[in-house]
Structure 1
Amino acid sequence: MATRTISKPRGRPNNRFGDRRIEVLRAAANVFSDLGFRQATLEDVARELGMTRAALYHYARSKDALLTACGDIARQQLIEALGLSRGEPDGRARLAAFFRRYAEIVSEDFGRCFVLTDFSEMAEDERETTRKAQLALGKAVATMIEEGIADGSVRRCKPVVTSRLLYAAFNGIARLPAGPDRPPALEMADDFLEVLFEGLVPRS
């Protein structure tokens, strides 16, 4: 597998070990997303980084440890996205702000890994942590929808069902292959939101 160019993370640690560890985690997230966590090996991750498996043990002792660390970063990014959305003036604007950022996150290394790794492939602790995070994210979006209904920016609907629909649509972004024909994440987010907010009924 060809070695990818790994971009520097936001808020990266200000030390050499921290920089390299983030680079290792980015590579692991990419390998797990591309090959599938079950099929991927530590040798695949080491090869992606141009290091030996023994050197990789300096940063993580197992695939499960790498996946947990990648999941922790993705969950933190999503929590921050929820926090930023709270500054918007109404429920619909909060939904738009969150899912525009969500589209960016699931287009990147850790978010893709978070979305594409199946529960059945995770160790028990990581599976439970991810399940709780997904439930909390779903509840947060349902709350935004309820707020939108209350303030008049969202029409009456079933908040839980609508929350699931939004996530199902945006999670599809993580499955799109990279390449020059792939639209930017924010462009896709705006296209999705227009259809999901306005529907398919012709406008008079």
Structure 2
Amino acid sequence: MLPDSPFRSPAQRAADRAAKRDAVLRAAVRMFNERGFHATSLDDVATSLGISKRTIYHYLASKDQVLLECVTIGLNQLLDAAAEARTEEGSGRARLARFLRRYAEINMDDFGRCVIRTGEEALSAESRPRFRALKRQIDSALRQLLSDAIADGTIAATDVRMTAFALAGALNWPARWHDPSGAMPPDAVAATLVDVLLRGLDPRPVPGPAHSPSERS
């Protein structure tokens, strides 16, 4: 393409399409989080962007696909955070803490919040397997980080499955109660919660054998 050509290159057109598709998803996810999935229509999303609903169909086939894309983005953000934590320097406990902080932060952002606030029951039967598969991958990644920290002795030996459920449950809730316009930013909320949770995983000293009074004298 000549430098002064009025026509956009294929790469520029692809970038424009990706940006417009992202704008639709971002507008939709914010409405889903504020109003609820069932109370939000694609007409509402289109109006907020100053476009027609027909325009949305150029980028996404249905409201169900919009929701699936939104939750997939949030779940992939969590998977990326787990992968990054596993490659970082430090102890197993330090890598676990890094992931848990990012886990909480992501769940207080738009797409992660949608995963928690909407849930699989809003998805169609065709979309749920993909959602469940991604959630299983995140659970597996969390369990592996826990197992690594137990193996190097930086957290106490614990039931990995139940601990993963407890940590995820605690760090999912800020998606429902945290106010983005509040005084405490997401990173501060995440750091505080993770600090509280991990103190419960501190290794305990093994008690020594009991001695009778005559043995101590």
1:66 Cα deviation from its structure 2 partner: 0.7
Within the alignment, does 1:15 sit opposite 2:30 as a pair?
A: no
Amino acid at match of 2:118: T
Which segment is superposed worse, 181-190 or 149-158? 181-190
Q: Aligned residues, how many?
A: 189
Residues in 1 aligned to 2:98 and 2:42: alpha-carbon distance in whole angstroms: 37
Which segment is superposed worse, 34-43 or 22-31? 34-43
Q: Which residue of 1 aligns with 2:46?
A: 46
| Contact 2:72 2:131 (C-alpha < 8 Å) held by counterparts | no
| Contact 1:46 1:52 (C-alpha < 8 Å) held by counterparts | yes
Q: Which residue of 1 aligns with 2:76?
A: 76
Q: Which residue of 2 aligns with 1:164?
A: 165
TM-score relative to the length of structure 1: 0.84
1:128 Cα deviation from its structure 2 partner: 1.2
| Contact 1:139 1:160 (C-alpha < 8 Å) held by counterparts | no
Larger Rg: 2
Amino acid at match of 1:125: E
Residues in 1 aligned to 2:79 and 2:34: alpha-carbon distance in whole angstroms: 25
Per-residue CA distance 1:26-66 (angstroms, 9 max, x = gap) = 11111112222222211121122222222222222310111
Q: Which residue of 2 aligns with 1:100?
A: 101
TM-score relative to the length of structure 2: 0.79
1:177 Cα deviation from its structure 2 partner: 4.8
SS at match of 1:86: helix
* Superposition pairs of residues 14-163 of structure 1, within 5 angstroms: 15-88=15-88, 89-163=90-164
1:137 Cα deviation from its structure 2 partner: 1.0
In structure 2, relative to structure 1, the CA distance for the partners of 1:180 and 1:64 (3 Å cut) is closer
1:130 Cα deviation from its structure 2 partner: 1.2
Residues in 2 aligned to 1:100 and 1:39: alpha-carbon distance in whole angstroms: 31
| Contact 2:143 2:161 (C-alpha < 8 Å) held by counterparts | yes
Query: Which stretches in structure 1 are left out of the alignment for 5+ residues?
Result: 1-12, 200-204
1:179 Cα deviation from its structure 2 partner: 4.4
Which segment is superposed worse, 189-198 or 106-115? 106-115
| Contact 2:113 2:175 (C-alpha < 8 Å) held by counterparts | yes
In structure 2, relative to structure 1, the CA distance for the partners of 1:179 and 1:80 (3 Å cut) is closer
| Contact 1:90 1:148 (C-alpha < 8 Å) held by counterparts | yes
